Amino acid sequence: MERRARELGGRLVLAGVQGRCARLLHRTGLDRIFRLLPGPAVTGGAGPSGAVPRGSAQLVAG
């Protein structure tokens, strides 16, 4: 999925990453593959408030 996102000019973003999860992603090097956002992703249009629902994925350009 990450490769396909790059092919389409986007990248995978993990939103709401904090604490142990953020440290684990950093230790394993996965923070270089995923863009980590400490708060919820707000991109406009993903849901009624524009926020990406917890546990879902969204392709973000750039």
The predicted-structure confidence for 1-47, as pLDDT tens digits, reads as follows 778 878 888 878 888 888 898 899 999 999 888 888 877 665 554 44
In the beta sheet, which residues pair with residue 12? Answer: 59
**DSSP assignment string, 11-38:** EEEEES--HHHHHHHHHHTGGGTSEEES
Q: Which two tokens stand for residue 39?
A: 């708060």
DSSP character at residue 43: -
pTM recorded for the entire structure? 0.55
Task: Give the pLDDT band of residue 54 (cuts 50, 70, 90).
Answer: low
CA dihedral 50, 51, 57, 62 (to 10 degrees): 70
Look at residue 56 in the predicted model and tell me its pLDDT.
55
**Per-residue model confidence (pLDDT) at position 41:** 61
